[in-house]
Chain A
Amino acid sequence: MTRAGSVRILVAAGLLLSLEICCRSGIINMTTMIPPSEMLGAIADLARSGRLLKESLPTFRNVTIAFVLAVGLGVIGGTVLHSLPRVRRVLDPLLASYYAVPFFALYPLFVVIFGLNDWPLIMIGIVFAGVAVVVSTLNGIDRVPPVLLKVARIYRMSRTAKVRLVILPAIALPLFTGIKLALAYSFIGILAGEFILASAGIGHAIAFAYDAFDNRTMYGLIAFTLILVTLMNMGLQACERLLLKGRSR
């Protein structure tokens, strides 16, 4: 491990430890925050009682569906948009200011359109995450070296062969940035939706525990969410490093 990596772990451990000490010694009131060790205990309790699985399963399912659809539709959308420069120029201001718009405001609209089920949540996830994939696909295709396209022409590749053998490998890295964002965004969109509207899922369970003054459950669920998202991000970063390594060979 690099020196920066070990210092990073020390810093994180130090922060957690000082939080633990602050909570235990009463500098931070126990009604405000419970110590990190208690949070872990709460996660274990929730897992034992089966509640953790029950609450998180709908969230996982929805995030997975939204993420997969956002990446699929985003790559297709980006590729199509790249082949239509006129349309792209018109849409450009929209893409540039897309993430300035508070999207969760659309939940009620989606509920009326899709009904009171999981689809409004999934749609918010897709709408929120998909555009990041579209933008990174466009960026990726823009940066494919022209010489590779010429090689494809020399080999008289079909359109599908060109996409599969030349374009996809060339845009893998920029696309991966979009995929990372898409995962984070579908999580954010769906959790926010669960907080506001849903009757199931982790977001709803956290809001419910908050309203019921059930601090232990609430902090357990929050800690669980944060740990989970961090682990997923670290996994994606590892994948990215692998991609980079394959590139440099």
Chain B
Amino acid sequence: MTQSTAAVGKSRRLQDFALLVACILAAWQALYMIVGDVAITSPVTTLGYAIELLPSSDFRPHLAASLTAFGNALLISYAGGVLLGLTLGFHRFSGEVAEPMLGALYSLPKIALYPIILQIFGLGLSAKVAFGALHGVIPVALFSMNAVRGINPMHLRTARVLRLSSIETVRTIVAPAIIPEIVTGLRVGFSLTLLGVLIGEMFASQHGMGFLLINAINLHDVKMITTLIFVLFLFATVTSAILLAIDRRLHVRV
């Protein structure tokens, strides 16, 4: 692609994106006009309230609590998932045994396990983290396992022919082959861990965004509900867009 067509493609993507944002805002405003203040606040009000709420000292501890829980859960999902996935990927027979089991666990409605997590971990940070990690670890493991299985056997044979040491093989063949696929897994795991932590906070916490949300639902504080949904959607979409961009770049390189 030449410089100018790349620039045209980029400006076009920006145009499309602006169009999408405009459409969403228009739909939001239309919904507001139909259902009114009892269900949702208008985009302008919500934005105003978000700007007022985010830096306030009432809100910051909750944000910090959510981020702490999310960070911990993410660390566990990623480390556990990649380790499990690589093990199952390299040890082919265990992988074959475990894959349908992981698939079954993946599609379980994990919310039904919530009371068990609470019984084991009690109320508070550890329960939130456990619930987040429970959601995130399986997709990361599945993607990592398939990444290893997808290594082209010809490449490994070439490494043997060239008498590469095992470290060199990992560095030059295995790592470049599996990293893009693992990053896809990390991206999916990111979203699901966030979902798990938020659900955890809704049931088992006195802190965090999930707690604020369930509290606002119980008090029917429409302005708060809409603003929180908006902030959560924004955070989720922006982070997922960044991860998706990294993901795509890695996949293109191959």
A84 close to chain B: CB less than 8 A: no
B104 close to chain A: CB less than 8 A: yes
Assess whether A99 is in contact with B244, with CB atoms less than 8 Å apart. Answer: no
Sorting the interface of chain B by its residue count into under 10, 10 to 19, 20 to 34 or 35 or more gives 35 or more
Total contacting residues, chain A, CB less than 8 A: 54
Partner of A102, one of B101, B104, B107, B195: B195
Assess whether B96 is in contact with A180, with CB atoms less than 8 Å apart. Answer: no
Majority secondary structure, A binding face: helix
A113-B35, A233-B104 known; A222-B116 Cβ under 8 A = yes
B206 to chain A, nearest CB (A): 17
Majority secondary structure, B binding face: helix
B217 close to chain A: CB less than 8 A: yes
Assess whether B236 is in contact with A97, with CB atoms less than 8 Å apart. Answer: yes
Assess whether A210 is in contact with B237, with CB atoms less than 8 Å apart. Answer: no
Residues in A81-97 with C-beta less than 8 Å from chain B: 89-94, 96-97
**Chain A 1-20 near chain B by CB (<8 Å), digits 1 or 0:** 00010011001100000000
Query: Inside 8 A of B100's CB, which chain A residues have their CB?
Result: 8, 237
Assess whether B232 is in contact with A233, with CB atoms less than 8 Å apart. Answer: no
A32 close to chain B: CB less than 8 A: yes
B114 to chain A, nearest CB (A): 7
B233 close to chain A: CB less than 8 A: yes
Residue among A8, A11, A102, A206 with the highest chain B CB neighbour number at 10 A: A102
* A196 to B216 Cα, complex, angstroms: 13
Assess whether A12 is in contact with B39, with CB atoms less than 8 Å apart. Answer: no
* A195 to B113 Cα, complex, angstroms: 11
Query: Inside 8 A of B113's CB, which chain A residues have their CB?
Result: 222
B103 close to chain A: CB less than 8 A: yes
Assess whether A222 is in contact with B112, with CB atoms less than 8 Å apart. Answer: yes
Assess whether A195 is in contact with B232, with CB atoms less than 8 Å apart. Answer: no
Query: Inside 8 A of B19's CB, which chain A residues have their CB?
Result: 90
Partner of B232, one of A4, A11, A101: A101
Assess whether A107 is in contact with B97, with CB atoms less than 8 Å apart. Answer: no
Assess whether B39 is in contact with A113, with CB atoms less than 8 Å apart. Answer: yes
Partner of B229, one of A33, A105, A222: A105
Query: Inside 8 A of B159's CB, which chain A residues have their CB?
Result: none
Assess whether A101 is in contact with B107, with CB atoms less than 8 Å apart. Answer: no
* A203 to B113 Cα, complex, angstroms: 10
B72 close to chain A: CB less than 8 A: no
> Chain A: which residue is nearest B228 at the CB level?
A105
Residues of B whose CB lies within 8 Å of any CB of A are 16-17, 19-20, 23-24, 35, 38-40, 93, 96-98, 100-101, 103-104, 106-116, 118-120, 188, 190-191, 194-195, 198-199, 202-203, 213-214, 217, 220, 225-226, 228-229, 232-233, 236-237, 239-241, 244
Top 5 A-B pairs, shortest CB-CB distance: A112-B39, A184-B107, A100-B240, A100-B191, A97-B240
28 residue pairs A–B, Cβ–Cβ below 8 Å: A7-B93, A8-B101, A90-B20, A93-B241, A96-B241, A97-B236, A97-B237, A97-B241, A100-B237, A101-B236, A101-B237, A102-B232, A107-B217, A108-B217, A109-B226, A109-B229, A112-B35, A183-B107, A184-B109, A188-B110, A195-B203, A196-B214, A203-B112, A206-B112, A207-B115, A229-B108, A230-B108, A237-B100
Residues of A whose CB lies within 8 Å of any CB of B are 4, 7-8, 11-12, 31-33, 89-94, 96-97, 99-102, 104-109, 112-113, 180-181, 183-184, 187-188, 191-192, 195-197, 202-203, 206-207, 209-210, 218, 222, 225-226, 229-230, 233-234, 237
Assuming A32-B119, A33-B116, A105-B232, what are 14 further A-B pairs, CB within 8 angstroms? A4-B93, A8-B98, A11-B101, A31-B119, A33-B119, A90-B16, A101-B237, A102-B195, A105-B225, A109-B39, A195-B111, A197-B217, A218-B115, A222-B116
